[in-house]
Amino acid sequence: MQEKENIFHSFNRRVIVNLDPRSPEAESYRAIRTNILSSNLTNPPKVLMLTSAHPEEGKSLTSTNLAIVMSEIGKKTLLVDCDLRRPNIHAILGLDKSHGLSEVLYGEEEWDKVLKRVGIENLHVITSGAIPHNPSEIIGSDKMKLFLEELKQVFDIIILDVPCILAVTDSIILSLLADCIFMVVMAEKTPREAVLRSMSMLADVKSNINGIIFNKVNMRRSHYYYYYYYGSRKRRDK
């Protein structure tokens, strides 16, 4: 028990599903999990991509909490920090970001050698690695496609934490490799126009947002901290 407490102490205090697993916030993540897994019972989504319109909307924290609740039910889960410009997963989980995705894509490391553990059963993490000089190019490389194909043979759920859509092209590139795409929207902060523009950019490459997660809803005005709407627009065939 002491070892577990020490591990969690290194987590960002907003990793709510571990620090306060019975809270309404934690239960909302489990509701998101249920909706995702029940969306297609015969062929459940395996590669989930989380993004946002702008930075600092809670995307990485949401990715982390969702990965943890997936691992809770025995799903072999991998959280990958695909933000090779402003990575944050390592900071949230108290990890060293070195030896991660960028080294794999450059061919310097095998992916199974850069897996990191955080003391949670069934949960593995691949951090960003060193910040490369050409993020879009290596994200869009054949190496990235092969990397994900290999991971799909090993893991039940792969969660990609990617850059915000309106800033760089990386998210648009990765959307073509994901089974489901979710946008994190900060309540009363993210402009409606930014969300619509992000959806339009994804639609242009025939990748649609499957779900929206509203973050930091005013609890005085709502019964829920996180609101999840799934299936508003069916994802088009690639």
Q: For the residues 212-228, what does the mean pLDDT come to?
A: 58
Compute the radius of gyration of the chain from its Cα atoms.
Answer: 17
**CB 199 within 8 Å of CB 229:** no
The larger pLDDT score, comparing residue 179 to residue 190, is at 179
DSSP string, 7-59: HHHTS-TT-HHHHSTTSHHHHHHHHHHHHHHHS-SSS---EEEEEESSSSSSH
The larger pLDDT score, comparing residue 54 to residue 22, is at 54
Tell which phi-psi region holds residue 188, choosing left (phi > 0), alpha (psi between -120 and 50) or beta.
left
Name the residue type at position 151: L
What local confidence, expressed as pLDDT, does residue 13 receive? 52
pLDDT class of 106 with cuts at 50, 70, 90:
very high
Q: For the residues 105-134, what does the mean pLDDT come to?
A: 95
Helices (H) and strands (E) in the chain, counts: 10, 8
What strands lie across the sheet with 77-81, from one edge to the other?
116-117, 123-126, 77-81, 157-161, 47-52, 180-186, 211-215, 227-230
Pull the structure tokens for residue 76.
């072999």
What would the pLDDT profile of 67-79 be if each residue is shown by its tens digit? 999 999 999 999 9
**CB 53 within 8 Å of CB 166:** yes
Q: For the residues 10-18, what does the mean pLDDT come to?
A: 61
**CB 211 within 8 Å of CB 229:** yes
Name the residue type at position 211: G
Q: For the residues 113-118, what does the mean pLDDT come to?
A: 95
The ranges assigned to domains in the chain are: 2-230
Q: Alpha carbon of 198 to those of 78, 80, 194, 217: distances in Å?
A: 26, 22, 6, 21
What is 2-230's CATH topology?
A: Rossmann fold (3.40.50)
Q: DSSP class of residue 157? A: E
Tell which phi-psi region holds residue 191, choosing left (phi > 0), alpha (psi between -120 and 50) or beta.
beta
Cβ neighbours, 10 Å, residue 191: 11
Compute the distance between CA of residue 145 and CA of residue 214 in angstroms, rounded to an integer: 30
Per-chain mean pLDDT for the chain: 84
Cβ neighbours, 10 Å, residue 6: 10
Residues 6+ apart with CB under 8 A from 142: none
Say what the pTM is: 0.85
Compute the distance between CA of residue 32 and CA of residue 100 in angstroms, rounded to an integer: 28
Residues 6+ apart with CB under 8 A from 139: 82, 84, 105, 170, 173, 174
pLDDT class of 162 with cuts at 50, 70, 90:
very high
